[in-house]
Amino acid sequence: MEPVNFSAKKANLTRRSELLRAVREAFYAKNFLEVATEVKIPAPAPEEYIESVACQGEFLRTSPELAMKQLLCNGMERIFQIGPAFRAEEKGRKHREEFTIMEYYAVNWNYRELAEFTAEMLLYACKKLFNTSVINYQGREIDFQSCSYITVDEAFRRYAGVSAFDADKDGSFDELMVLKVEPELGKRNPEFLIDYPASRASLSRLSKADNRVAERWELYINGIELGNAFGELTDAAEQRRRFAQALEFRKNAGMLPYPEATEFLDALEKGMPEASGCAIGFDRLAMIFCDAYDIEEVIFEAKRK
Distance CA 222, CA 17 (A): 22
Range scoring the smallest mean pLDDT among 65-69, 204-208, 301-305: 301-305
Q: How confident is the model at residue 6 (pLDDT cuts 50, 70, 90)?
A: confident
Percent of the chain at pLDDT > 70 equals 97
pLDDT beyond 70 at 8: yes
**pLDDT value at position 186?**
97
pTM for this model (two decimals) = 0.94
**161 CB-near residues (< 8 Å, 6+ apart):** none
- Cβ atoms within 10 A of the Cβ of 84, count? 12
pLDDT tens for residues 94-121?
999 999 999 999 999 999 999 999 999 9
**pLDDT value at position 89?**
86
**pLDDT value at position 303?**
67
Q: How confident is the model at residue 90 (pLDDT cuts 50, 70, 90)?
A: confident
pLDDT beyond 60 at 1: no
Contact between 210 and 196 (Cβ < 8 Å): no
- Cβ atoms within 10 A of the Cβ of 301, count? 9
The residue-averaged pLDDT of 141-155 equals 97
Average pLDDT along the chain: 94
Distance CA 71, CA 206 (A): 23
**133 CB-near residues (< 8 Å, 6+ apart):** 123, 126, 127, 143, 144, 145
**pLDDT value at position 304?**
56
Distance CA 12, CA 293 (A): 12
The residue-averaged pLDDT of 160-165 equals 97
**pLDDT value at position 4?**
54
**pLDDT value at position 48?**
85
Tell the burial category of 211 from Cβ atoms under 10 Å away from its Cβ (0-12, 13-18, 19+). Answer: exposed
**pLDDT value at position 2?**
52
